[in-house]
Amino acid sequence: MRCLLALLPAVAYAGAVVATYPSKGQVTAPFRLALIRAAVLVGAFAVVGVEVLSRYQALELRGFVWLWGVGGVLAGVAAWARRRTFRRPELPRLDRATTLACAGLGAVYLGALVLALTYPPNNFDSMTYHLPRIEHWVQQHSVEVFAVRIHRQVTYPPGAEYLMLHLRVLTGGDRLHNLVQWGAAVGCAVAASRIAAQLGGARLAQVLAAVVVGSAPLVALEASSTQNDLVTALWVAAIVTVALDRGRDLATVVPLGLATGLVAVTKMTGLFGAAPVLLVWGIVAVRRVPVRAVLAGVGVLALAGVLVGPFLARTYAEFGNVLGPAYLSDSVTMGKHTPGAIGINALKVVQSLFDNPLTVGFAQGILTLARWFGVDPHDPATNFGPAFPQITWYPDEDRSSYPLQALLVLAGVVAALVRRAPARIYACCFLAAALLHVSMIKWQMWGNRLTAYLLVLGAPLAGLLLAALWRRRAVLAAPVVAFALLLGLASVGYGWPRRLVGANSLLTLDEGQRRFARRPLWQADFEWAAERVGGARVIGIAEDNDSWEYPWWFLLPGRDMRALQSLVDSRPATPAGETDAVVCTIVPVDKCGFYRPEGWSYETHGTVTVILPPVR
């Protein structure tokens, strides 16, 4: 029954949709605009709500019920006041092609929804830092920094985790966490379709833009996960579609400012996608009404600051830099900005996006080109993690390429450059965002995920191109769209680490096996350790930077978890002797002996070590 409390945010969102429905003027796709505005308002309310409750050490069920009770009442009152201006959307008459495209896209999203509801969170990064940080917040009733070995739990922007925190406290568990990304995936398709309409696309172009987004393996795979790339992409797309309306009133400034803050507090790389469009919006506004435009710009920055300011303040107070410690920024940010370094980095990113079994020579060509220009393609200043190239075509949520969708976006951009405004200006903004991305972010094996916002921003241009091709040569366009949808369905059906059919699928794995699908050999180790710990109340955790911490939280619920290591100077580690038991996942396991108090027993099972006090 407690899961029903998750309906509180949904009720508030429904009220916000009615309340934010455009009340005057000719507005493109007004219902879709209301859906996006409401998402931004509810997302911002959720972030501010966490910060306020945290301020009073009230991150507990009562606080969240009160929060959403107030939010629901406010949304309801606003919806009642605007009820006369709200127009119930009418289902349009669709031709056969559009109907089939919508049906195919719906099948992809339905499959992803089934996975999101039936699989518990099992993403690798979520086991390491996305979800453990939520549990730390729940344990301490606050989002203040805490002692931890895995710095990403306190240094990475927490926007997506804030949204999941609401579901965690309201429901008491993690079974609805995947719905955050699924909802973001739907929102990305809605935003892309509206942008296509704003660029002059008819209904078919709008639907095909949504198809390009939803059929991409990256989106289909992440739509059932607890990552944050689609959430980031949604907020970026919200900025773009609102800015394209070219308004300067509160109905524009408020969602622009809040969406900008949501991007910054979720994943700051998304600002590369928003910056060019915001710049053009500001220039156009200044040319029309300078004073009002300046005030609007200040308003956008102020609202963004309200959302991201508290996190940046905590980061600055702890590390002396709003961007976190140097080792954080140095790990993923480009350390060289010469034309050669940026060019080779761009080619490496493109190769990973287009990777498939037929493009092996592409990667080797890039390595050869790098040598010709005297650029080291494996330089740590431009390369993060394993050396280039890496196989990314397999449908894995952490690295999957999307070559067909990337090709459609690229072709759409080229076609838009020869069209009249606004498509040409939009294409230039897209290219600027892409250039910022490859200039600032190192190539990495997992880098395709980081381009989700570029996919969503490029999809409207792909939709325009596909629609034009369909009108002229439907026999050519239809197979392309069908194949794209098949890729999406295949990713949902046989992707990793969540799949509908086949070996190690929803049909063959039990609850525990689904949680450990990414590392099945670790399941026995963690479950053995949880049994050995028994009824110990205070659990000391020793781990590496990439260790799985989250299993301790769901295998040992209600325990007091203490970090035996800390990279946070103001939060010292707990001595092992002050705990009732120690669990250690440091590799090699013999290093766990460092955390063994004198007289305590020491047992290892595979990759996990348990250290227990003597029996009294």
Which of 36, 396, 102 is CA-nearest to residue 222?
396
Report how far residue 536's alpha carbon sits from residue 422's, in angstroms, rounded to the nearest whole number.
64
Report how far residue 71's alpha carbon sits from residue 57's, in angstroms, rounded to the nearest whole number.
20
Q: What is the pLDDT of residue 406?
A: 98
The secondary structure of residue 129, as a DSSP letter, is I
Per-residue pLDDT reduced to its tens digit, 361-395: 999 999 999 999 999 999 999 999 999 999 999 99
Long-range (24+ apart) CB contacts under 8 A made by 362-370 are 363/388, 363/389, 369/344, 370/344
Per-residue pLDDT reduced to its tens digit, 492-521: 999 999 999 999 999 999 999 999 999 999
pLDDT value at 90 more than 80? no
Handedness of CA 427, 433, 438, 444 (dihedral sign): negative
pLDDT value at 616 more than 60? no
Report how far residue 487's alpha carbon sits from residue 218's, in angstroms, rounded to the nearest whole number.
10
Q: What is the pLDDT of residue 359?
A: 85
Residues linked to residue 538 through DSSP beta bridges, in sequence order: 560
Confidence of residue 173 (pLDDT cuts 50, 70, 90): very high
The pLDDT mean for the chain works out to 95
Q: What is the pLDDT of residue 250?
A: 86
pLDDT over 90, % of the chain: 90
Q: What is the pLDDT of residue 358?
A: 86
pLDDT value at 89 more than 80? no
Report how far residue 147's alpha carbon sits from residue 549's, in angstroms, rounded to the nearest whole number.
14
At 21, give phi and psi (nearest 5°). -65, 130
Per-residue pLDDT reduced to its tens digit, 39-61: 999 999 999 999 999 999 999 99
CA 364: distance to chain centroid?
31
C-alpha distances out from residue 229 to 278, 297, 406, 452, Å: 20, 26, 17, 6
CB proximity list for 615: less than 8 A, separation 6 or greater: none
Q: Mean per-residue pLDDT for 119-145?
A: 98
Rg (CA), the chain: 25
* Strand ranges, E, within 410-534: 443-444
Question: What does pTM read for this prediction?
Answer: 0.97
Which of 444, 465, 578, 451 is CA-nearest to residue 147?
578
Report how far residue 304's alpha carbon sits from residue 316's, in angstroms, rounded to the nearest whole number.
17
C-alpha distances out from residue 373 to 350, 378, 436, 444, Å: 18, 14, 22, 21
Which of 498, 503, 534 is CA-nearest to residue 613?
534
Exposure b/e, 552-587, CB count within 10 A at least 16 = b: bbbbbeebebbbbbbbbeebebbebeebbbbbbbbe
3-state helix, strand, coil in the chain (%, to 5): 65, 5, 30
pLDDT value at 355 more than 90? yes
Per-residue pLDDT reduced to its tens digit, 585-601: 999 999 999 999 999 99
pLDDT value at 69 more than 90? yes
C-alpha distances out from residue 55 to 58, 310, 549, Å: 8, 10, 26
Which of 400, 482, 568, 609 is CA-nearest to residue 103?
482
pLDDT value at 100 more than 60? yes
User: What single-letter amino acid sits at 77?
Assistant: V
The secondary structure of residue 27, as a DSSP letter, is -
Per-residue pLDDT reduced to its tens digit, 189-247: 999 999 999 999 999 999 999 999 999 999 999 999 999 999 999 999 999 999 999 88
End-to-end CA distance of the chain: 42
**Lowest-pLDDT range of 83-97, 170-184, 214-228, 389-403:** 83-97
At 283, give phi and psi (nearest 5°). -65, -45
